[in-house]
Chains A and B, each alone.
Chain A
Amino acid sequence: MSYRIILIVSIIISGSFLKTFAQTEDVFKSFGEGLTFESGVSLLAMKDELISKQKYSGSLPVYSLSWSKFNNVYGLRIYMNYEDAPGLKNYNITSSVQQTQIGIAFVYPIGSISFFSKNAYLFLGPAVDIFSHKQVLNISNFDVYNASVNAWLYSGCVRAEAYYELKGNIRLHASGQISILSEAFKSTSDEGTQETIVTPLSGFDSQIGIDILYKITKGFTASAGYRFRMAEISKWDYFVAAQDQFTAALSYKF
C-alpha cells in the first residue's frame, strides 16, 4: 500500500514544477515515433496465493512490438508485450507463466521542466491496457493434476512520458503508467470464472521505465532501457507479479 501512496504523491509533486509550453517543433521532434521491436530479459518474481503462498521467480525473454505516431495534438502508442516463462522456480518446484499485455495510449504535451539547462518535454494522457496472466503450478508430470489459473485485467490507465535531449542524436525517454480502474477476471479449473472491479486501493497494473535512444539514421533509432512492471490484486487471493526488464529496441520511422 505504501508504495502506491508514494507513487501518487510523486506524480502530484512533479506536476507542480511544470511549466506549459507552446507546441513548438521541438515537442514534435522529441516524441519517439515509428514501429518498434523490443526484446530483452525480464527478471520476474510473483506470488499468486490462489495457487500458492510461495514466491516464484526466474528470468524470461520478453518481446514487445509497438507503433507510435504524433499528430498535431497528441501522441498515439499501440503496444503489445509477450512473455513466456516455463521455469519459474520455488526451490525445486517449477511454475509456468505466460503474460500478454496489449494497449493503446494517447499522450498530450503538457509542459516542460528545465533540467541541466535543457528542457524535458512532458506528455500525459489516458491509456487502455489489457493484461493477461496464465500460471500452471507443475506439481505433477500430467497437466490434468496441476493447479492453474488464468487472470485478466482490463484497465483504464494514466500514462506519462518525458523526453530529454542529451546530445544531438541521443535522448532519454522516461515513462510511467498506472491503472486507475480495472475490471479483473480469473478463471480456475474448479471454480469457473470470477469477476471484480479493482481500484488503486485494491490492485493495479503499472510500469515505469527509462530508455536511452540513439538516432542511427534519419529513419532508424536504437535504444536500451530498464523497466519495472508490476501488477497486483488484493481483492481476492492475493496476486502480485513484479519484474525488472532490461531491453534493447530498434525503431523505424516511416
Chain B
Amino acid sequence: MKLTLIYSLLLIAAVFSGCRNLVVTEPTSNNNLDDFNVLWTQVNKVYPFFQQKHINWDSIYTVYEPLAQRAKGDEGFKILFDLLSILKDGHVTITTTGGQELQTYYSPRNIRDRLTFNPVTVRRYFNRELKVAGDGKIEYEFLPDSLGYIKLSSFSSGNWVNDFDVVLNYLRYSKGLIIDIRNNPGGIVQIVEYFAGRFISKEMKYMPHYSKIYSIKIPPIEPRGPFTYSNPVAVIINGASFSGAEHFAEVMKQLPNVTVIGDTTGGGGGSADYTFTTPDGILIQISSSDWRRYDNVPIEWNGISPGITVLQTKEEVDSGHDLQLERAINILEGKK
C-alpha cells in the first residue's frame, strides 16, 4: 500500500512537472515581418542623415528582410533594435510593448563623459549649500568672489522653467556667471530660446534646420525678461551635453560676453520629433530634423566644440578636482 502511495506521488509529481507551461503561455501573434516593413519604410521616408552617415538603407533592407521573415518571438524585436542601432542616433528609441523606452545608441563621447561630472565635487567649490529651484532641475548659488553659478539639468518643457528668472534675478549682480550644462540631455527649442533670451539685447536668428517632411520656420530668439544679463558668462559643456543642451551652447557661443568651456558635446543634431507604432504595438521614435550649427555644419555626430577645451577624467573629478569648473572660474576672474 505504502509503495503504491509513493508511486502515486511520483506520478503526480511527473504529471505536474509541466505546470509552468499551463500557466505561462506563448503569445499567438507574430507580426515580425510587418513590424520590420513598417519600420524600414518610415525611416526611409523621414530620416535625414543617411548621406552624412554613409548608410545605404536599401541594401540594409536586403540584408534584414530575410532575417525578419524567419524571426520568431522576440527575435523580431531584436531585429528592429539592431536596425535602429545602425543609425547611431541618440534621438532614436524603441519602446517595449509594456512601455519601457530603450535608447538604441549613445555616442562614445556621451558614454565617456557622463562620469566626468560629479555634483559632489562641484559642491567643494562653494562655501554654502547650493539652492535648488525648478523642480530640482536648477541648482544655483554664489561662488566665492561674487561669481554666480547655475546648473541646468534639462531643457524640457514645463512650469519649472519660470524659476530661471527668479534664479537670474538672485544672481543679477554677480560679476560673472557660470552656466553648467554638463550631462544635460536636452529638451525643446522653445526652452532653449526662453533661457537664451535673457542674455541677448536684440533679436537673434536661430540655427539652420532641415527636414524631409516638415517645413517649419523657427522664430528668432527674442530678448526677454526685466533685464539682460550682460556680464561675462562661461558655459560649461561635455560629451554628455546633448540635443537641446547643444543648441543652447551654440546659441550662447555667438554672444561676445560668453566663453564656452569644456569638451565637445555629444553630437545629437536630430530631434525626438517623429514617432510611429508597428502592427505589434512597438513604439518607435526617430528623428526627422537635421539641426545645423551657425556655420551650417550638422550638429549630428559633430557636436559643439568649446572655445576653450578642458578635458577631465572621472578619476580627477572623483579626487575632488573639477578642472572644467576651475577653468571657468579663472576665466571669469580674468586669470588665464
Contact = CB atoms under 8 A, between A and B. Distances in A.
Interface of A: 3, 43-55, 57, 90-93, 116, 137, 139-140, 144-147, 149, 166-167, 172, 188-191, 210, 212, 226, 228, 230, 232, 237, 240-244, 246
B16 A147 contact: no
Nearest to A118: B2
Contact of B74 (A3, A45, A52, A189): A52
A243 to B, nearest CB: 6
Contacts of B16: 226, 228, 244
Contacts of A91: 71-75
Contact of B85 (A140, A212, A237): A140
Interface string B1-20: 11001100100110011111
Main secondary structure of the interface of A (DSSP, over half): strand
Contact of B98 (A52, A93, A240): A52
Interface size class on chain B is 35 or more
B19 A190 contact: no
B100 A243 contact: no
A54 B17 contact: no
Nearest to B3: A166
B69 to A, nearest CB: 14
- With most chain A CB atoms within 10 A of its CB, the pick from B9, B71, B100 is B100
A93 B111 CA distance: 25
Interface of B: 1-2, 5-6, 9, 12-13, 16-21, 23-27, 71-75, 77-78, 81, 85, 96-104, 106, 111
A63 B99 CA distance: 33
B17 A244 contact: yes
**8 smallest A-B Cβ distances: which pairs?**
A50-B98, A242-B20, A45-B24, A226-B13, A45-B20, A237-B98, A93-B74, A242-B23
A116 B1 contact: yes
Contacts of A3: 23
B9 A210 contact: yes
A91 B75 CA distance: 7
Contacts of A53: 27, 97-98
A145 B102 contact: yes
- With most chain B CB atoms within 10 A of its CB, the pick from A45, A146, A240 is A45
Contact of B75 (A93, A167, A188, A244): A93
A168 B25 CA distance: 43
Contact of A244 (B5, B6, B20, B97): B20
A246 B25 CA distance: 21
Given A55-B25, A91-B74, A149 B100 contact: yes
Nearest to A42: B20
Given A50-B99, A52-B97, A139 B20 contact: no
A139 B78 contact: yes
A54 B74 contact: yes
A110 to B, nearest CB: 23
A144 B103 contact: yes
